């Protein structure tokens, strides 16, 4: 008899966090005796509008809450519930508490520091009302699945009864390693969303200097905001189908970050994608980046503008170094950040705890 699991994700498949933390595991789970039903909080239209910078009607937003509320009446049909982050954004943890009291077993999954939306909010009212919300969601759960050690530490402080560390991973069978450099340009690449493009804007001065070298291009995948760096900055459309092909054209992958508590919750997925394609990386020395990047082996960790310029220039000028680091990055991803290595962890949680 199959174990029945209800996944209450935040987004549909096109939402990166939901796709990577939930959807990509479904075929494997189904093959191994787990029957999966998925119910996202936000729909595809919401995601499309979000990425396009369009406003969402209040009526539409309310409808998401109503739909999730009525979905909760079906929870007794399942052996286990997996909640991505929280049941209701910017609402009390009453329903997670109710599930706990009704002995409905739920797991909760985190790939970023969503608790800082509340406890570090600029709004005193939000801090007052919801500052301890995610602590409660973790505490009431049967298991917290954490994408990195910072998130796991928060779960431990919250009093969670069980914590499992499960990094965000890629399917290495889908990530083909970069072929030998053939382009006349050296391509520095970044992939992300419009909301995370701010990290590139913060580095505008760095890239304005790097792009003075006419043999270098900066490729931006997933954002279209023009910051005036000229024709050697290319904006490319993201899709799930084309992202690996676009990344495999990079010669250097970058992940600049700010150094705030929010960034400590990030799971360095961009770096894992780059390295999965055999691309060397340069990244801010913040949070999990320090675990994924082995300094001088598969990439460089940097803090200052001078370091960014030095390390990028070094990789631009040395093809052999790019190739060596790229190969070592791929090996690390295969062993530590692939779904092939980690999917058994999720299966064990669901099968043994359900």
SS3 content of the chain, % helix, strand, coil (to 5): 45, 15, 40
- pLDDT tens column, 38-58: 999 999 888 888 777 788 888
The reported pLDDT for the residue numbered 111 is: 96
pLDDT tops 80 at residue 307: yes
Q: How confident is the model at residue 353 (pLDDT cuts 50, 70, 90)?
A: low
pLDDT tops 60 at residue 354: no
User: Cβ distance 169 to 337 under 8 Å?
Assistant: yes
- pLDDT tens column, 193-210: 888 999 999 999 999 999
Q: Which of 190, 142, 143, 145 is nearest to 21 (CA)?
A: 145
SS3 state of residue 306: helix
Mean pLDDT computed over 333-347: 96
Look up the pTM and report it: 0.92
The per-residue pLDDT of the chain, averaged, comes to 94
pLDDT tops 70 at residue 345: yes
| 58-71 helix and 44-52 helix, angle to the nearest 10 degrees | 140
The reported pLDDT for the residue numbered 293 is: 98
The reported pLDDT for the residue numbered 284 is: 98
Mean pLDDT computed over 290-315: 97
Instruction: Using CB atoms within 10 Å of the CB of residue 230, give its burial: 0 to 12 exposed, 13 to 18 middle, 19+ buried.
Output: exposed
- pLDDT tens column, 140-169: 999 999 999 999 999 999 999 999 999 999
The reported pLDDT for the residue numbered 57 is: 87
How many C-beta atoms lie closer than 10 Å to residue 345's C-beta? 15
User: Cβ distance 7 to 82 under 8 Å?
Assistant: yes
Four-CA torsion 68, 129, 98, 64, nearest 10 degrees? 0
Determine which of 46-50, 68-72, 263-267 has the lowest per-residue pLDDT on average.
46-50
DSSP 114-147: TTHHHHT-S-HHHHHHHTTHHHHHHHHSSEEEES
The reported pLDDT for the residue numbered 44 is: 87
């Amino acid at each position: 008899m199959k174990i029945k699991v209800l996944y209450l994700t935040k987004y549909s498949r096109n939402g990166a966090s939901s796709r990577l933390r939930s959807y990509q595991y479904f075929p494997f789970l189904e093959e191994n005796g787990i029957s999966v039903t998925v119910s996202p909080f936000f729909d595809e239209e919401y995601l499309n509008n979000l990425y396009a910078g369009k406003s969402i009607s209040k009526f539409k937003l309310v409808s998401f809450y109503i739909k999730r509320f009525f979905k909760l009446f079906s929870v007794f049909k399942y052996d286990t519930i997996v909640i991505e982050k929280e049941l209701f954004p910017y609402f009390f943890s009453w329903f997670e508490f109710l599930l706990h009291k009704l002995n409905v077993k739920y797991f909760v999954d985190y790939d970023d520091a969503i608790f800082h939306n509340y406890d570090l909010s600029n709004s005193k009212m939000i801090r007052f009302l919801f500052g301890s919300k995610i602590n409660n969601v973790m505490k009431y759960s049967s298991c917290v699945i954490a994408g990195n050690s910072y998130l796991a530490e928060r779960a431990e402080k919250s009093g969670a009864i069980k914590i499992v560390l499960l990094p965000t991973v890629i399917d290495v069978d889908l990530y083909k390693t970069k072929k030998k450099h053939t382009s006349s340009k050296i391509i520095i690449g970044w992939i992300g969303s419009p909301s995370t493009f701010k990290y590139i804007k913060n580095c505008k001065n760095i890239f304005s200097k790097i792009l003075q070298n006419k043999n270098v291009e900066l490729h931006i995948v997933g954002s279209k905001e023009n910051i005036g760096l000229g024709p050697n900055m290319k904006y490319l459309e993201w899709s799930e189908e084309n992202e690996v092909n676009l990344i495999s054209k990079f010669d250097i992958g970058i992940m600049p970050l700010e150094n705030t508590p929010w960034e400590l919750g990030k799971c360095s997925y961009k770096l894992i994608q780059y390295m999965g394609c055999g691309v060397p990386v340069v990244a801010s020395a913040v949070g999990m980046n320090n675990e994924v990047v082995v300094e001088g082996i598969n990439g460089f960790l940097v803090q200052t503008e001078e370091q960014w310029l030095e390390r990028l220039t070094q990789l631009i000028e040395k093809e052999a170094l790019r190739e060596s680091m790229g190969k070592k990055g791929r090996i690390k991803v295969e062993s530590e950040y692939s779904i092939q290595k980690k999917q058994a962890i999720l299966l064990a949680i669901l099968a043994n705890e359900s």
